[in-house]
């Protein structure tokens, strides 16, 4: 069995995965875009399992969107590993809910994630008041530790190098706008393979502002004047679609195949 799902217990939802070779990056590890996709999947599963997901809100024309995310990893899962993602609601307000995660590799915690989610009206694209969804606050587990800083405020870049990307059919999801994971892939492709052979991502932050659509050609801006703490943004015709921050550390090559 490649996956084993453990249902929600005391407000914490757990899902165990297996990392196959075909899912790994060039360094035989779990790619960051794949991890982001897994986080969204597990969050979705937890929401559905507690009647706070698609089946409940879609008939009302509402749905959850990820607005901010910050993660820190001391090591990514590696080829043939079993890894586990745990998630829980940390707190909730009128317009945002705050969801945390921990990532285990072979039963050792190797990473934490803090994220912010909003509910939007799928037609008007406006934020929806979630204060009346009492189950959100009731299910919060602020007592579960998540010892990393929340997403920071990412500001406009003043100096940068730039590239471009045109989003195609495979970049678009069922909402008919660019999938969250594709933004991360787009940003990461602005560095070459030699960079990732030398450095690993120790912290990643992203803030989403506005959707991109099929056929959009965007400018991808990178400020890597400080190679250990890089900033990025995706812009189209003066509109910022997302901003990100990558913190890199040099790889310990002796650990790559452990």
pLDDT band at 1 (very low <50, low <70, confident <90, very high): very low
Q: CATH homologous superfamily of domain 1-146?
A: Hotdog Thioesterase (3.10.129.10)
Provide the residue ranges of all domains of the chain, joining segments of one domain with +.
1-146, 152-258
The predicted structure's pLDDT at residue 209: 95
Terminal CA-to-CA distance of the chain, rounded, Å? 23
Architecture of domain 152-258: Roll (3.10)
Q: What is the pTM of this model?
A: 0.93
Cα three-residue angle 187-106-49, rounded to 5 degrees: 70
Domain pair 1-146 / 152-258, same fold: yes
Task: List pLDDT tens digits, range 214-230.
Answer: 999 999 999 999 999 99
Task: List pLDDT tens digits, range 85-119.
Answer: 999 999 999 999 999 999 999 889 999 999 999 99
d(CA 148, CA 118): 21
């Amino acid at each position: 069995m490649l996956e084993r799902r453990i249902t929600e217990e005391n407000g914490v939802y757990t899902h165990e995965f297996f990392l196959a070779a075909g899912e790994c990056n060039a360094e035989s590890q779990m790619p960051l875009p794949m991890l982001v996709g897994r986080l969204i999947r597990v969050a979705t599963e937890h929401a559905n399992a507690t009647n706070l997901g698609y089946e409940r809100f879609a008939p009302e024309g509402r749905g959850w969107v990820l607005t901010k995310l910050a993660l820190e990893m001391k090591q990514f899962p590696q080829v043939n590993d079993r890894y586990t993602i745990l998630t829980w609601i940390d707190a909730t307000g009128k317009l945002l809910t705050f969801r945390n995660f921990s990532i285990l590799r072979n039963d050792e915690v190797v990473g934490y994630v803090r994220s912010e989610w909003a509910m939007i009206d799928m037609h008007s694209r406006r934020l929806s008041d979630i204060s009346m969804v009492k189950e959100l606050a009731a299910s919060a587990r602020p007592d579960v530790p998540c010892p990393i800083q929340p997403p920071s405020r990412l500001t406009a870049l003043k100096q940068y190098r730039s590239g471009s990307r045109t989003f195609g059919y495979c970049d678009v999801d069922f909402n008919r706008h660019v999938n969250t994971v594709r933004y991360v892939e787009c940003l990461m492709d602005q560095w070459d393979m030699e960079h990732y052979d030398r450095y690993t991502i120790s912290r990643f932050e992203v803030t989403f502002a506005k959707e991109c659509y099929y056929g959009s050609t965007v400018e991808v801006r990178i400020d890597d004047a400080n190679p250990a703490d890089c900033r990025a943004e995706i812009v189209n015709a003066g509109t910022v679609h997302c901003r990100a921050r990558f913190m890199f550390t040099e790889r310990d090559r002796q650990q790559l195949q452990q």
